Amino acid sequence: MSAAEEIRAAAAVWLAKRDRGEWSEEDQKALDAWLAESWSHTVAYWRLDAAWNRTDRLGALRQQKIETARPARAPVWPLVFRTAAALGFVAILGFAGTQFLHRQTATTRDYATAIGGRETITFADGSKIELNTDTAIRARMTTAERSIWLTRGEAYFDVKHDPAHPFVVYAAGRRITDLGTKFLVRRNAKTLEVALVKGSVRVGEGGGASRLLKPGDVAVASAESMVITRKSARELANELSWRDGVLVFDNAPLGEVASELNRYNRQKIVIANEDAAKLAVVGSFRTDDVQGFTDIVRAVFKLHVENEGNRIVISR
């Protein structure tokens, strides 16, 4: 073995030990001391760690497959992910013939809400997760590890910080690491949004790099890029108003308001005219009150509202 290979092997032992979990403060101190011994230790460890983080992308395979495996018209999302889904994504990777165990274990649990549903989960460590409408997560909360996969929808995290056990959220192929915090994660069709209310979080970028968010920062990430903008305390509060069962809009186009409400209701609002979709809406609405909303639209904007049962069509 060359000198560099020996150092890489030692770095891999450290990284694996950390990956395994049950990582104590003494372990961290010992690692810090090893890294401080020389730059060659430090760079070898950084390099392996960055490559290992890049394989987090593989988590996207599970999400893709579960979403396509979902029955088209299932009224309620089953709480247990099916083994079929697991076998499906294994096939994607090309490992047909190899048996993989994939089941709910004592330490891994799945939670989901239906359309219009809302649920708060409180974990043994005191951390809380509030699931918004049509949302699914998988939680692995053990003494060693705290990992959450947001498979679909939107969730608000209130995390009890513990440096020895980082709290990590995986969503849309990205990794969000809590550094003591309250934050919102929302999956849209093409983007992932992370809004930081309190504390700090780190959001992973491609290639092992990451960005640190400050309170009020909102990161919007697509598959290719990530943009960070600032929101005022009021804008953030509006964004989180679903936690009280209401949606608050401050000058939002009617089309956007409709698609937001549609997330919460089976009866979908359709805006027939493009110019009607651009009308500005100010106000707050209950997430479950489509009727109340369309009554106001009819009265204020003088629009036609046609209830067709599974949808409500709004037109000029």
Give least dist CB 195 to other proteins, A.
Answer: 21
Residues of this chain, 175-204, that bind other proteins according to CB under 8 A: none
Give least dist CB 162 to other proteins, A.
Answer: 17
Q: How many residues bind other proteins (CB under 8 A)?
A: 70
Give least dist CB 103 to other proteins, A.
Answer: 10
- Binding letters toward other proteins, positions 16-55, x by CB under 8 A: x--xxx-------------xxxxxxxxxx-xxx-xxx-xx
- Which of the ranges 126-134, 145-153, 159-167, 268-276 carries the binding residues for other proteins, by CB under 8 A? 145-153
Give least dist CB 33 to other proteins, A.
Answer: 8
Contact 48, 12 (CB under 8 A): yes
Residues of this chain, 265-304, that bind other proteins according to CB under 8 A: none
Tell me which of 79, 93, 272, 280 binds other proteins, using CB under 8 A: 93
- Which of the ranges 143-151, 175-183, 280-288, 291-299 carries the binding residues for other proteins, by CB under 8 A? 143-151
Give least dist CB 227 to other proteins, A.
Answer: 12
Give least dist CB 144 to other proteins, A.
Answer: 7
Considering beta carbons, is residue 11 or 281 the nearer one to other proteins? Answer: 11
CA distances from 118 to 111, 135, 204, 262 (A): 11, 9, 28, 15
From the list 312, 256, 305, 262, the residue with the least C-alpha distance to 282 is 256
Q: Is 15 exposed, middle or buried, given 0-12, 13-18 or 19+ CB atoms closer than 10 A? A: middle
CA angle 87, 84, 55 (to 5 degrees): 40
Does 142 participate in binding other proteins (rule CB under 8 A)?
Answer: yes
Does 145 participate in binding other proteins (rule CB under 8 A)?
Answer: yes
Does 61 participate in binding other proteins (rule CB under 8 A)?
Answer: yes
Residues in contact with other proteins by the rule CB under 8 A: 1-5, 7-9, 12-13, 15-16, 19-21, 35-44, 46-48, 50-52, 54-62, 86, 89-90, 93-95, 98, 100-102, 105, 107-108, 138, 140, 142, 144-145, 147, 149, 170, 173, 206-210, 223-225
